[in-house]
Amino acid sequence: MALQHIDTDTPWWQLGVVYQIYPRSFMDSNGDGIGDLAGVEQRLDHLVDLGVDALWLSPFYTSPMKDFGYDVADYCDVDPMFGTLDDARSLITSAHSKGLRVIVDFVPNHTSDQHPWFIESRSSRSNPKRDWFFWRDGTAQPPNNWLSHFGGIAWTWDPSTEQWYLHSFLKEQPDLNWRNPEVRAAMMDVIRFWLDQGVDGFRLDVAHYIAKDPQLRDNPWLAEGERNAGHRDSGEFSRMVHVNTHSHMDIHDWYAELRQVMDTHHVAERGVTARYSVGEIHLFDWEEWAKFYGTGPGTGLTMPFNFSLMKTGWNAPAIRAAIESCEAAVPAWGWPNWVLGNHDESRVATRFGSEAAARAAMVLLLTLRGTPTLYYGDELGLIDTPISADQMQDPWGINVQGLGLGRDPERTPMPWDSTANAGFCPVGVTPWLPIGDLSVNVEAQHHDPESFYALTRSLLALRRSRAALTVGSWLAVDAHDDSVVAFERHASGESTIVVAVRVGGAAGVVSLGEGLGTVVLRSSSIHSSDTVDLASVELRGNTAVVIERR
Ligand code: NOJ
Ligand code: CA
């Protein structure tokens, strides 16, 4: 299965599908109500059965858990809550033995305030690590007008050394100063450490944040009534243009260096074919976004995450525009990628309003040109789990009460079966977040040939069996219908695959070209093999069809 292409020259990440695991919520192996690494290892066969190629683990490092692991106190160890370094090694080895690659989270922008580097840095103005973080003078006023993502200003006053320090997120997440070469060297050592443990790549947390304006100048404001596109916050933060906080052009040299380390470190000894680096980059200017691919092969990240489909809504013109813009923006040496959900966004089935829409969207995610990243539970069509105020865990939701920004609803435990705690943790234990509708679970969907799981699994099998759907070219098809997104995928020596998705809308007939085709899959009824005339294909509202041209 997964490693079938290992001997070809095409890197695995170009052919493969990545599955994101939020370790707290996947599987609890020791009955404390919190998922852990040994739990993930126990459930690896689910990924094999589903047919994905790699897993990405959100952070499991030593952490006070103020931001559930995105506040790292030791980059090179495992938090006891998640297990031990040996558990991490064991998971990596097991995953590899099952043909799965392992990608770990790397959090370059900030540490925890409990990281020894910050503790040292904070201890005195003359400490050798003082400049590893951002310390600035200021009297009653902070050094500039920057705001924290999680509410309030981005600076905290340290009374003992009488300076402010910068934190783009929580005050317990101080920003590292990547302009200091010692910081860059230390972070490259972290990369080497995890490569030595056998990981195949990294997902870089808020990757664009590491390079700020060298003078830390104020950010401009949008005009009254205007809002930043693409930001979940509806408060003051979304009225600020964060130009000086991130994406300074120096960043590209630092990622070129990181890429160099990844492409060379113990590559020959380990027989490595390709390593993967994907940056979490919330930039919606395609030109700026594409710069993270570097200036030529091997000079940038493997790819910046493409979050455009998380911002379009379930809207056909916006989706078509996102796909066309991405196809136009990715440089010749780059490769696109697509994301519909993650641990920071409302679940797809909730965002797009229905299971039917989420099924059609899954067809889109798995047939577009580029590497898809699939969030755990989206293969079941999970919806957001309602979280009451007293159940809330996410610091963002807690800090910015009332704005609905908490991310707990999309982070609830994976439902494995219909028993009281869904097979996630033992019955009688309270899971860290409530579990959603128990009738939606892996076991039940396994037995249902038309389930969401069956659809995702069939799509993944189809992808693996057709070069057209992996390395094939992409071409827009004009279906002459505003509510339809349609395109063709083609690889030489294979029949062309035509995909059409009706986004909302009412049932109707669409034109997808000329000649006859065989329906390989419909989002609403998976096992079909009808013959259709491409000039008039029946397409119901919120459904998708995949057709093989004859
Ligand atoms: C982005 C991560 O995806 C999110 O979960 C986290 O809170 C912030 N970065 C801060 O690290
Ligand atoms: Ca546990």
7 pLDDT higher than 80? no
Res. 271 pLDDT band, cuts 50 70 90: confident
231 pLDDT higher than 80? no
How many C-beta neighbours within 10 Å does residue 226 have? Answer: 11
259 pLDDT higher than 70? yes
206 CB less than 6 Å from ligand 1? yes
Res. 233 pLDDT band, cuts 50 70 90: low
Mean pLDDT of 386-393: 93
Tell me how far the alpha carbon of residue 116 is from its chain's centroid.
28
Measured by CA distance, the residue closest to atom 5 of ligand 1 is 344
Per DSSP, which regions of 376-457 are E strands?
none
- Please name the residues in contact with 448: beta carbons below 8 A apart, sequence gap of 6 or more: 454
Determine whether 205 is an active site residue: yes
147 pLDDT higher than 70? yes
Mean pLDDT of 307-329: 97
Which atom, in ligand 1's list, is nearest to the CA of 71?
A: 11
488 CB less than 6 Å from ligand 1? no
Residues 41, 53, 87, 205: which is the catalytic one?
205
Q: For residue 547, how far is its CA from the centre of ligand 1 (angstroms)? A: 39
Per DSSP, which regions of 183-257 are E strands?
201-204
254: tokens are 């630092």
Cα distance between residue 531 and residue 518, in whole Å: 5
More confident residue, 40 or 397: 40
Q: For residue 356, how far is its CA from the centre of ligand 1 (angstroms)? A: 30
CA-nearest of 113, 118, 147, 344 to 244 is 147
Could you tell me the maximum CA-CA distance found in the chain, to the nearest angstrom? 77
67 CB less than 6 Å from ligand 1? yes
More confident residue, 5 or 335: 335
Q: For residue 148, how far is its CA from the centre of ligand 1 (angstroms)? A: 12
pLDDT tens-digit map of 157-212: 999 999 999 999 999 999 999 999 999 999 999 999 999 999 999 999 999 999 99
Residue whose entry in the numeric block shows the structure tokens 């976004």 = 289
Which atom, in ligand 1's list, is nearest to the CA of 67?
A: 7
344 CB less than 6 Å from ligand 1? yes
CA-nearest of 270, 118, 121 to 197 is 270
24: tokens are 């707290």
DSSP secondary structure code for residue 84 in this structure: -
Res. 4 pLDDT band, cuts 50 70 90: very low
**Per-chain mean pLDDT for the chain:** 95
> Which pLDDT score, from 0 to 100, does residue 35 have?
98
Cα distance between residue 192 and residue 78, in whole Å: 16
> Which pLDDT score, from 0 to 100, does residue 1 have?
37
Q: For residue 155, how far is its CA from the centre of ligand 2 (angstroms)? A: 34
Cα distance between residue 29 and residue 87, in whole Å: 12
Cα distance between residue 445 and residue 16, in whole Å: 24
Domains of the chain: 12-110+277-457 (3.20.20.80), 470-549 (2.60.40.1180)
Res. 21 pLDDT band, cuts 50 70 90: very high
494 CB less than 6 Å from ligand 1? no
Cα distance between residue 14 and residue 297, in whole Å: 14
Indicate the helix (H) or strand (E) that contains 244: none
pLDDT above 70: percentage of residues in the chain: 97
Residues 79, 280, 379, 410: which is the catalytic one?
280
Identity of the residue numbered 191: I
Determine whether 450 is an active site residue: no
256: tokens are 């070129």
Cβ distance 300 to 256 under 8 Å?
Answer: yes
CA-nearest of 363, 256, 368 to 306 is 368
343 CB less than 6 Å from ligand 1? yes
Q: For residue 29, how far is its CA from the centre of ligand 2 (angstroms)? A: 5
Which atom, in ligand 1's list, is nearest to the CA of 168?
A: 10
Res. 31 pLDDT band, cuts 50 70 90: very high
pLDDT tens-digit map of 461-482: 999 999 999 999 999 999 999 9
Kindly report the backbone phi and psi dihedral angles of residue 291, in degrees, each rounded to the nearest multiple of 5, phi listed first.
-60, -20
User: b/e map of 298-321 (b: 16 or more CB within 10 Å)?
Assistant: eebbbbbbbbbbbebebebebbbe
Q: For residue 167, how far is its CA from the centre of ligand 2 (angstroms)? A: 30
3 pLDDT higher than 60? no
Measured by CA distance, the residue closest to atom 10 of ligand 1 is 70
46 pLDDT higher than 90? yes
Res. 529 pLDDT band, cuts 50 70 90: confident
